[in-house]
Structure 1
Amino acid sequence: MNKILSSSVIALSLAMASVHLYANDKVVQRDTSKVTHIQEIRNATIKVTYADTTFLIDPMFAKKGFYEGFPDTHRSYLRNPLVDLPIKPETILEGVDAVIVTHTHLDHWDDAAQATIPKNMPLFVQNKEDQKIIQSQGFKDVRVLTQATFEGIKLTKTGGQHGTDAMYRIPKLKAGLGEAMGVVFEAAGHETVYVAGDTIWRSEVDQAIQTFKPDVIVLNTGNALVDGFKESIIMGKEDTYHATQKAPNAKVVAVHMDAIRGGPTCLNN
């Protein structure tokens, strides 16, 4: 039975010894006895402590209401973020070894984070365009991720799409949505963790689950809506349920919900 876990601030100690079914119906043992710690801070901002290394993912540090609502989105008259950071930025950064920016939308990489994070911090990004943007902000160690090893941890970029095909057929909307990546974390003795990023459910997500057999899946599930479409630009509760069916042995962690106005999905749902 899957565990669907969500909270405005959660710290999860995730550890279990497990047996997984791989391709060709071969059962192989995977040692997952060591602890993974995931802390949701706000919205898509999380800390993943994995194999004695701590990653900060998609930092947004602004105070409550600092930014105008995103144009052409659900209830865009509300200012973002909707809630304050529960932890001071300086405290969030304690122990962080590297930052992962899945894409440079404001709710994943904002001015406040840029001003607080040390300029020599290693950062992983999805492509050369984002690398150039973040380098222009003064950061010295910005790495384009396809597959890399960092402190003995294998990091692999995964695909997705930040909205439906119909949305991407509209040039202005396509430009606004842009690209976004997910990341898989692998290390001997540890659970495999898949952070899907800002994507709807697509074949790339299915492929990542099939290929990596993650023990932990982190999904952005706020069901964010743009004007003129019933479909979301990220996942919603149906996708979260779908994940429990596709990966029945995985722990599913739902984030990116209440803190940014763009969709109707909330923690109560």
Structure 2
Amino acid sequence: MPMKPLASSLLLASAVITGSAFAESNSQETTQQLQQIRNATVKVTYGDTTFLIDPMLADKGTYPGFENTYRSELRNPLVELPMPAEDVINGIDAVIVTHTHLDHWDDAAQELLPKDIPLFAQNAADAELIRSQGFTDVRILEDGTEFGGVQLHKTGGQHGSDTLYAVPELAQSLGEVMGVVFEAPGQKTTYVVGDSVWRDEVEQALERFNPEVIVLNTGAAVVTGFEGDPIIMGKEDTLRTHQAAPNATIITVHMEAVNHLTLSRDELAEYVQEQGLQDHVLIPADGDVVSF
């Protein structure tokens, strides 16, 4: 991965470190860290509380590719975790599942996570499904949910354009999604947008919360027949997000790990340079940690 966007953004974040250095840094006094695990799986430490978001913990090649999507002949995940799955889980206080698609909530996560861990879902249907998988402390995330001294706010979005949702089969398979805003005294307000395209709901969240850190799913995933109409954000949305929140640090994730993603880190890094966004955008490799 090109390091220029990371290196040039160090004025915004206090540190960007590799996954191998995470244990050492985590033993030091830090107030906020975000670790890119793989795909959309992110570990957010906010003061004394650590959340695991959208865990996909299987070994490389465990699952078939997603049907009727780009490169569906490939098996998922495309890459290994940067550390043992047990290390990913170690130290977490709660799990947030933005939606239950396999690349955000997989069989391996269901097997490995403690069944009594607090787990936040977006709605009653997802909560019921996760309870049926054996989890006993499943909560529905709402606007202003408090956990471990952190205020959590559910935000809206849509997993594709209105054009895609006009197709009943696609609307059903894409389903509902959410984003999450984290707030706590003395911490940088952080907005994890989730699997949404650019929507009014995203703009409204940016205006309401004025986040200092924005986590974007930027892999530009596509389904067959709609190749010019990605179901999550891409490189142009990174620019659009910066224009809407010019003082925020943007951290890009959900790239290169499952078959239907079309935007690579290299391509995004090149675009970031072309648009002069290198002081605002971080493109962490799997395992990297951003500390504030």
Verify the 8 A CA contact 1:37 1:48 in the aligned structure 2.
yes
Deviation at residue 14 of structure 1 after TM alignment: 4.1
* 1:68 maps onto 2:64 in alignment: yes
Give the alignment of 1:74-113 within 5 angstroms.
74-113=70-109
Where relative contact order (Cα < 8 A, 6+ residues apart) is larger, the structure is 2
Kindly provide the amino acid, as one letter, of the partner of residue 165 in structure 1: D
CA distance in structure 1 between the partners assigned to 2:151 and 2:6 by the alignment: 25
Identity rate of aligned residues, in percent?
A: 58
1:44 aligns to what? 40
Kindly provide the amino acid, as one letter, of the partner of residue 177 in structure 1: L
1:161 aligns to what? 158
List per-residue Cα deviations over 1:165-187 (Å, max 9, x = no partner).
01111111000000110000000
Kindly provide the amino acid, as one letter, of the partner of residue 190 in structure 2: V
Kindly provide the amino acid, as one letter, of the partner of residue 173 in structure 1: L
CA distance in structure 1 between the partners assigned to 2:5 and 2:44 by the alignment: 17
Kindly provide the amino acid, as one letter, of the partner of residue 70 in structure 1: F
1:252 aligns to what? 250
CA distance in structure 2 between the partners assigned to 1:14 and 1:114 by the alignment: 33
2:259 aligns to what? 261
CA distance in structure 2 between the partners assigned to 1:93 and 1:262 by the alignment: 26
Kindly provide the amino acid, as one letter, of the partner of residue 76 in structure 1: S
- SS in structure 2 at match of 1:268: helix
2:216 aligns to what? 219
- SS in structure 2 at match of 1:87: coil
List per-residue Cα deviations over 1:186-245 (Å, max 9, x = no partner).
001110000000000000000000000000000000000111111100000000111111
C-alpha change, 1:264 and 1:195, in structure 2 (3 Å) is same
1:136 aligns to what? 132
CA distance in structure 2 between the partners assigned to 1:169 and 1:264 by the alignment: 23
1:178 aligns to what? 175
Kindly provide the amino acid, as one letter, of the partner of residue 240 in structure 1: T
- Unaligned stretches of 5+ in structure 1? 7-12, 17-33
- Unaligned stretches of 5+ in structure 2? 16-29, 268-292
Q: Which runs of 4+ in 1 moved over 3 A?
A: 3-6, 13-16
Give the alignment of 1:228-243 within 5 angstroms.
228-229=225-226, 230-243=228-241
C-alpha change, 1:58 and 1:4, in structure 2 (3 Å) is farther
CA distance in structure 2 between the partners assigned to 1:88 and 1:117 by the alignment: 13
1:205 aligns to what? 202
- SS in structure 1 at match of 2:265: coil
**Greater helix share, 1 or 2?**
2
Query: TM-score, normalized by length of structure 1?
Result: 0.88
Kindly provide the amino acid, as one letter, of the partner of residue 90 in structure 1: E
CA RMSD of aligned residues (A): 1.7
CA distance in structure 2 between the partners assigned to 1:77 and 1:207 by the alignment: 38
CA distance in structure 1 between the partners assigned to 2:6 and 2:93 by the alignment: 25
CA distance in structure 2 between the partners assigned to 1:35 and 1:59 by the alignment: 23
Deviation at residue 263 of structure 1 after TM alignment: 2.6
Query: TM-score, normalized by length of structure 2?
Result: 0.81
* 1:122 maps onto 2:118 in alignment: yes
CA distance in structure 2 between the partners assigned to 1:48 and 1:65 by the alignment: 26
Verify the 8 A CA contact 1:14 1:35 in the aligned structure 2.
no
